[in-house]
Amino acid sequence: MTRIHHLNCGTLQSPPNPKASCHCLLLEDDSGLALIDTGIGLLDVRHPLDRIGQALIDAAGFQFNEDETAFRQVQRLGLDPSSVRHVVLTHGDPDHTGGLADFPSAQVHVSTEEHPRISQGHWRYLPAHFEHGVNWKTHPKGSDEWFGLEARRVDLGFSSEVFLVPLFGHTLGHCGVAIRQGERWMLHVGDAYYLRVELERDDHPVSLLTAQRADDNARRLESLEQLRRLVRDHAGQVDLFGYHDFGEFSVPIRA
């Protein structure tokens, strides 16, 4: 079974919003390593104005700490960053893609819906994060299903199955990433919610922020309802967590 490491690969803080994590995963397998999202990268830390720009730094509250980068955390685990053969992106927002350039030989997996807007320079994506030349692998809709949701198999050659699970709305190609762990599944929901409280209520102040930052808020709400269904009906089979809620690092996630 593929081993999973939970990494905080960046911190965002834009008052009055709470401090936000960049919750990435490192998958460790006999066949190599893979990252789920990449957080803030080494080049972002060293050249923040050139890579990100002051306006976005201020708006999102980017904090720059080289020790938090995925590259340095892989090294601290005693692993070789050059063994990161794959990156699976939930979507292409800057706080998810800054570390791509630190793993230039990795194949980068993304939904077919997300890729064109990245490559065509949509305003929410940063060209500097992709200018090193990305080895893209796009995943279209197929016939697989996962707990009543569409699923797109990501063939990493690892011992654990991995799927992109469309959770559109935050961006038009936003996906969660499901990883089998024995008899259970782990679902990284990306930015389908910002705080876990959104699974329980619609009137939390953060809901206004998630709505404002959604490309299609109606679809975002549909995706959120699907996550609520998973929690309600499949809690014994699926553990899920999001990208930005620091509290979820302390929540027991069963293997």
Q: Domain limits of the chain? A: 3-246
Task: Record the tokens describing residue 11, joined without a space.
Answer: 């911190």
Question: Could you tell me if 176 and 192 are in contact, meaning their C-beta atoms sit under 8 angstroms apart?
Answer: yes
Average per-residue pLDDT for the chain = 95
Cis status of the peptide bond prior to 16, with omega within 30 of 0: yes
CA distance 98 to 236: 34
Task: Record the tokens describing residue 163, joined without a space.
Answer: 């799927």
The model's confidence at residue 251, banded by pLDDT at 50, 70 and 90, is: low
Domain spanning 3-246, CATH architecture: 4-Layer Sandwich (3.60)
Whether the per-residue pLDDT at 189 is higher than 80: the answer is yes
pLDDT in tens, 50-105: 999 999 999 999 999 999 999 999 999 999 999 999 999 999 999 999 999 999 99
